[in-house]
Structure 1
């Protein structure tokens, strides 16, 4: 009897990528080539994504497309980064993909519908924060769920989420997850062999209809006065997508008056104070200069510091099992913000900041923006983040998702 050879996660990603290439992407491209007029409104990140993430669960496998919904061009020479995440030992694949904690919800867990466009799903705590900060409940066309204890995938059923917004909370406030396009396909696991599990992956039974639909589909976008903000947000996305971009380029862009709405929307701020130089009043130390002070609804400001979207060390978590910790790179970023916190423990420094720059700061949140979601947003990462007092770490994808949630509202 031939011995079964186990597949690695890389093997699985290759297998799934080849399935999609032969059965979906290539046929979709051919239809667009035969009908060039369709390219004008086509959702271009389906064929030219920034990244594709494959998810492996107990009853489904998924593919998420990450890219710019406003891309103008489509190219056959496009290269894409691929990642695969194994959640086959977890109970709810969708919850793990979203990274939202629904455990405090008292409502029942609902079966996810097969097709979901403009789905908005906040936890109760998240909705309270959103409404307090002026979120417009009636401002968009959406399917919204209240007090729902999350969604579960229906066994044997294909699911799709397009432009979904999911909101939760953590100890630092609102958490937003925008799913631009996520396809979830059924799978079957044969675990009769104690040594090797066999996976059977399925795709759409009506493949031709799906390809025709997707070629004609126009991705939902905000309209009207939001167009100028869309333009600025696109420039921000382009900026963080380049490996040649420096930290000063990012902060300079965000400090421009026409772009400050990005910070206000992402961090629910009223006023933005960029790069205020603050001298120490009681100690002989080098002045601090945080990237941004963002004033909240209570009149006090928090500190936001931007690092590069691409981490120098691809492994943000190091150490053996049960002894994990952040990498030295991330520790250095956290240590830098400790100086900022220490500065405002001195009342003389607080008085100086208010007199010179008009900012009131007392026990500020220290918010670090760095990396991309696929680098940092994992259960291990979230667990480690909770060990840090008064520090909040957001990825660039979270910042963009928060802005998008305002533009669609």
Structure 2
């Protein structure tokens, strides 16, 4: 008989002899038409990384394309800190139209509070130089203004409770995160200096997301 056994953290094809002894019959490079969970996951992630790279490098890509990709593949946004990336929750307001953040990030720690993330394009610039000073661009400041409006919404306890009841998400002064541009286009020192202009803002770049995904593949 043939069977599958977990050996050293990997599924192996084994031959079960009449006397009950077991012999491994495959080599690391053989699959014998069996689905290895770790290999499947790594292959799946490689395909998704390629898809994201194509979106990042295509001049035709719009924010809706990226929104749909991350809605289908929220693990790219979650990393180790978050267990869920919920898209387009609706923050209802009495006197104005609703606010709709791109993503709400629910932390893995059930006692922690949720954060918010806005998407901008990979081709968007992060820094500009004015009078020998490096500053954040208008694209980032626009995202920051959006995020501050969301933050203000959650200062109201009744609104926080309504969102928790509707979505199971707990908010209070959420961290502001924006996914934008490419870190590799800039000096690490210049980017860190510019980030201090908005202390409560966390800038995540598309090459950060890709590198995190590649690291996950290397661990498989």
> Is this a same-fold pair by TM over 0.5?
yes
Residues 32-88 of structure 1 show CA distances to partners (whole Å, capped at 9, x for unaligned) of xxxxxxxxxxxxxxxxxxxxxxxxxxxxxxxxxxxxxxxxxxxxxxxxxxxxxxxxx
SS of residue in 2 equivalent to 1:262: helix
* Structure 1 residue 229 corresponds to structure 2 residue 48: no
Change (3 A) 1:360 1:273: same
Alignment of 1:322-341 (within 5 A): 323-341=133-151
Structure 2: unaligned runs, 5 residues or longer: 1-7, 10-37
**Pairwise CA distance, 1:224:** 4.5
* C-alpha contact (below 8 Å) 1:317/1:381 kept by paired residues: no
Residue 400 of structure 1 corresponds to which residue in structure 2?
A: 210
User: Structure 1: how far apart are the matches of 2:160 and 2:64?
Assistant: 26
SS of residue in 2 equivalent to 1:270: strand
Residue 317 of structure 1 corresponds to which residue in structure 2?
A: 128
* C-alpha contact (below 8 Å) 1:303/1:366 kept by paired residues: yes
**Pairwise CA distance, 1:377:** 4.7
* C-alpha contact (below 8 Å) 2:126/2:180 kept by paired residues: no
**Pairwise CA distance, 1:352:** 1.4
* C-alpha contact (below 8 Å) 1:295/1:302 kept by paired residues: yes
| Aligned pair partner of 1:372 in 182, 198, 212 | 182
SS of residue in 2 equivalent to 1:408: helix
* C-alpha contact (below 8 Å) 2:89/2:100 kept by paired residues: yes
Residue 385 of structure 1 corresponds to which residue in structure 2?
A: 195
Residues 314-336 of structure 1 show CA distances to partners (whole Å, capped at 9, x for unaligned) of 57223112x44222232222111
| Aligned pair partner of 1:307 in 98, 104, 120 | 120
* C-alpha contact (below 8 Å) 1:367/1:394 kept by paired residues: yes
Change (3 A) 1:273 1:324: same
Residue 263 of structure 1 corresponds to which residue in structure 2?
A: 77
Alignment of 1:22-41 (within 5 A): none
Residues 213-265 of structure 1 show CA distances to partners (whole Å, capped at 9, x for unaligned) of xxxxxxxxx94532112212211111111110110110111102xx2221222
Change (3 A) 1:356 1:261: same
Residues 258-283 of structure 1 show CA distances to partners (whole Å, capped at 9, x for unaligned) of x2221222x63112211111112xx5
Alignment of 1:351-362 (within 5 A): 351-362=161-172
Structure 1: unaligned runs, 5 residues or longer: 1-137, 140-221
**Pairwise CA distance, 1:346:** 1.4
Residue 293 of structure 1 corresponds to which residue in structure 2?
A: 104
User: Structure 2: how far apart are the matches of 1:317 and 1:370?
Assistant: 15
User: Structure 1: how far apart are the matches of 2:190 and 2:140?
Assistant: 15
Residue 239 of structure 1 corresponds to which residue in structure 2?
A: 55
Alignment of 1:4-403 (within 5 A): 223-256=39-72, 259-265=73-79, 268-280=81-93, 284-299=95-110, 300-311=113-124, 314=125, 316-321=127-132, 323-403=133-213
User: Structure 2: how far apart are the matches of 1:371 and 1:333?
Assistant: 13
SS of residue in 2 equivalent to 1:290: coil
Q: How well do the aligned residues superpose, as a CA RMSD in angstroms?
A: 2.2
In the TM superposition, structure 1's runs of 4+ consecutive aligned residues that sit over 6 Å from their partners are none
* C-alpha contact (below 8 Å) 1:318/1:327 kept by paired residues: no
User: Structure 2: how far apart are the matches of 1:251 and 1:377?
Assistant: 28
Change (3 A) 1:274 1:371: same
**Pairwise CA distance, 1:391:** 0.9
Aligned residue pairs: how many?
182
